[in-house]
Chains A and B, each alone.
Chain A
Amino acid sequence: MLTVADVAVSRGGRRALEGVSFELRPGHALILRGPNGIGKTTLLRTIAGLQDPAAGRIERASGSVAYAAHADGLKGAMSVAENLRFWARIFGAAPATVDAALAALNLSDLGSRPAALLSAGQKRRLGLARLVVLGRPLWVLDEPTVSLDDASVALFAGVVRGHLAGGGAALLATHVDLGLPEAAVLDLAPFRARADRARAGRPASFDEAFA
């Protein structure tokens, strides 16, 4: 479903990670670990197609990735259900999935409330409900459990498990224990770009900005 082969990513013209290779098959989850600033977010954004890898090759079906990052893409002036219905329409998903997604993340009672009035944890759950709505096979999640309480983390782990059971795959960057013992763990620390090569990328960075 996803093949990452010898990929290097750069952030602001500086190499962050290099030589990253892994494979993710349907029904499997992979958790990325590593210290702050090593380039987890950059790697996930690259895999989601928001930027090009500096080197190497990423293979995935086009339109297979559902990406969720620190910001949830919610409009405070719209209600919880309206927010989800909007993303369902943009991604061409069936409107019926909205109710199922709200139920899956325990948001059914909040459907008509403006998103601006949600707590941080409820917003996060709404952001994760979007993943269920989109129905895309590969979930790429950046710190999905920020501001979630224990019960919600367990709820989220259940949703991920359901997604894996349905033939999906998930790639997560997280520091907390999700309660997903079946997920493989990849430590990114050995792939940190060497300092000399990180700087060698500098002269090319101007052209890179326009590549």
Chain B
Amino acid sequence: MKALLLRDLQLATRAGGGFGLGLAFFLIVCTLVPFGVGAGGDVLSRIAPGIMWVGALLACLLSLDRVFALDREDGSLDLLATAPVPLEGVVLAKAAAHWITTGLPLVVAAPVFGLLLHLPAPALPWLVLSLALGTPALSMLGAFGAALTVGVRRGGLLLSLLVLPLYIPTLIFGAEVVRMGAAGQAPTTPLALLSGITLAVVAAIPFAAAAALRVNLR
């Protein structure tokens, strides 16, 4: 599993690996929104939590279709299925690699991008915390969608349609944490629910995604 994680990270950082793609997309979303709604601080800071979270969601989606599709094309997935590593472990390693290359850069860069959207200063730590707790669920759910659509040609769009509805709970509670943080309240309840969703997803999805892969390998 560690070997697989390291290989995926290595591949992501090499030419054509797509590392930083999600981050660049996130940056563009955060710069486009002020152009669209006007740079007036009031409106912008009110919608900033939602924009940040929607941007993070879409950035995550961008690189999902390659999680399993590339490995299926070159035959690696067949070989991984005959390897001593259980497929559940393969899913976990792949989702972790996706999170490290897509989710983690967003978490680190979020405070800077928050400034672009006039996010109030007290909300910045909550933004980082909510993204850190929420984005693993995005990668994990995305891996499930990628496992379901691995055999479908041009499955990227289908993948988005499958995965985006599953992102709704994370989006609601993630944005709520930031909103309450911006209003100066303690966002304990949405934070607990956000963590709960992530924990449940990380616990359950590897089995579901591995089952989907087994069906698709036949």
Q: Which residues of chain A have a CB within 8 Å of any CB of chain B? A: 45, 48-51, 63, 65-67, 69-75, 77-78, 82, 86-87, 89-92, 130, 209-210
Contacts and interface: CB of A to CB of B under 8 A. Distances in A.
A130 B76 CA distance: 12
Chain A: interface secondary structure? loop
17 contacts: A45-B218, A48-B78, A49-B82, A63-B84, A67-B79, A67-B82, A69-B78, A71-B75, A73-B78, A73-B79, A74-B74, A77-B15, A77-B17, A90-B3, A90-B4, A90-B84, A90-B85
Interface stretch (B6-14, B53-61, B123-131, B195-203): B6-14
A92 B145 CA distance: 29
Contacts of B79: 67, 73, 87, 90, 130
Nearest to A89: B3
Contacts of B218: 45, 50-51
Contacts of B11: 75, 77-78
A91 B74 contact: no
Contacts of A45: 78, 218
A87 B84 CA distance: 11
Contacts of A86: 3, 7
A82 B3 CA distance: 11
Interface in B58-93: 73-76, 78-85
B164 to A, nearest CB: 25
B215 interface: yes
A72 B17 contact: no
Given A51-B217, A70-B75, A130-B79, 10 more contacts: A45-B218, A48-B82, A49-B81, A74-B74, A77-B15, A77-B17, A90-B3, A90-B79, A91-B83, A92-B84
A36 B11 CA distance: 36
Contacts of B15: 77
B16 interface: yes
Contacts of A78: 7, 10-11, 14
Name, among A49, A82, A87, the residue most crowded by chain B CB atoms within 10 Å (CB to CB). A87
Contacts of A90: 3-4, 79-80, 83-85
A67 B85 CA distance: 15
A77 B16 contact: yes
A50 B80 contact: no
Contacts of B81: 49-50
Interface in B175-218: 215, 217-218
A72 B74 contact: yes
B84 A67 contact: no
A50 B83 contact: no
B215 A50 contact: no
Contact of B84 (A48, A50, A91): A91
